[in-house]
Amino acid sequence: MALLNLHLKVWRQTGTQPGHFQDIEAPEIPDHASFLEMMDIVNERLIRAGQDPVAFDHDCREGICGMCSMTINGMAHGPERGTTTCQLHMRKFRTGDTIWVEPFRARAFPVVKDLMVDRSAFDRIIKAGGYVSVRTGAAPEANEIPVGKEIADAAMDAAACIGCGACVASCKNASAMLYVSAKAGQLNTLPQGHAEKDRRTLAMVRQMDAEGFGNCTNQYECEAACPKEISVRWIAKLNRDYAVASVKEVVGIGRQQSGDGD
């Protein structure tokens, strides 16, 4: 085991007050520690020195919950492809390195404290349409609706999204299109989600816009940062589904013909 001596530049901020970078020395960090474990060590030292520890989000620490965030050296979840911050290990850094640690920056993700941001905008997008309506009661027979293998596989690819927000953080425009396209696309692909496809697509995109995210400019930084490697082709599908749903809405297809609307 090697020990690393690191120089950290950590963003410190309380609520809506202006933040700043704090220089923190992090000597003797074991190279087998994860990035979050390194932050734990730094915090223990800060607490022992009577200083305020750095606030950051974390939960499962095994790359599946989507809770950890942090922009490390300008890259959401750090430099490793397909990796969350909790799965990033210090052996990817060298002793003497200066590491910039910042929150996921977006107007729609206000800073709560230090590296913690409020990602509830994502929850409101799900609430707008990221579901399928099912009748309650006895569980339906599992194979009642046949789902093709290719369809199921594609839907699972989109469903791999853990909603961490790295796509927003890495996008030059703080756009949430990769997240929304994965969540809408997963359901729009499956037969169970087909009935509410148009309504879902319009509602989720409108909520996304209302939250103040930016617009996609097809630069694909999101795909490069995504810890689950969600493909930007889901964004193409969302664009397609939105175009179809909009045209139907403009000309009134899908509304009741008797005139009482829906």
Partner 1 sequence: MSSLLDSLSRFYASSIGKKLLVALSGLALIGFVLGHMIGNLLIFAGPDAINEYGHMLHTMGHGGLIWVARLGLLAAVVVHIVATIHLTRQNKAARKDAYGKEATRVASSASRIMIFSGLTILAFVIYHLMHFTVRVGNEYNNPALYTAMLDGQPVHNVYKMVIDGFSWAPASVFYIIAVALLCNHLSHGFASLFQTLGLATNKTWPLFQKAGHAFALLILVGNCSIPIAIWLFGYGR
Using CB under 8 A, list all residues that contact partner 1.
9, 11, 19, 21, 71, 73-75, 100, 102, 105-108, 170, 172-175, 177, 205-206, 208-209, 212-221, 223-225, 231-233, 235-243, 246, 249-250
Q: In what order do the strands lie in the sheet with 3-12?
A: 20-30, 3-12, 98-102, 71-72, 75-76
Nearest distance, CB of residue 212 and partner 1, angstroms: 6
- String of DSSP letters for 70-117: -EETTEET-SSTT--GGG-BGGGS-TT-EEEEEPPPBTTB-EEETTEE
Judged by beta carbon, residue 11 or residue 56, the one nearer partner 1 is: 11
Nearest distance, CB of residue 196 and partner 1, angstroms: 18
Nearest distance, CB of residue 117 and partner 1, angstroms: 11
Residue 98 token pair: 């200066």
Judged by beta carbon, residue 148 or residue 212, the one nearer partner 1 is: 212
Judged by beta carbon, residue 91 or residue 240, the one nearer partner 1 is: 240
Judged by beta carbon, residue 72 or residue 161, the one nearer partner 1 is: 72
Q: Is the dihedral of CA 14, 20, 21, 22 positive or negative?
A: negative
Residue 116 token pair: 């913690």
Judged by beta carbon, residue 64 or residue 224, the one nearer partner 1 is: 224
Nearest distance, CB of residue 250 and partner 1, angstroms: 4
Nearest distance, CB of residue 198 and partner 1, angstroms: 13
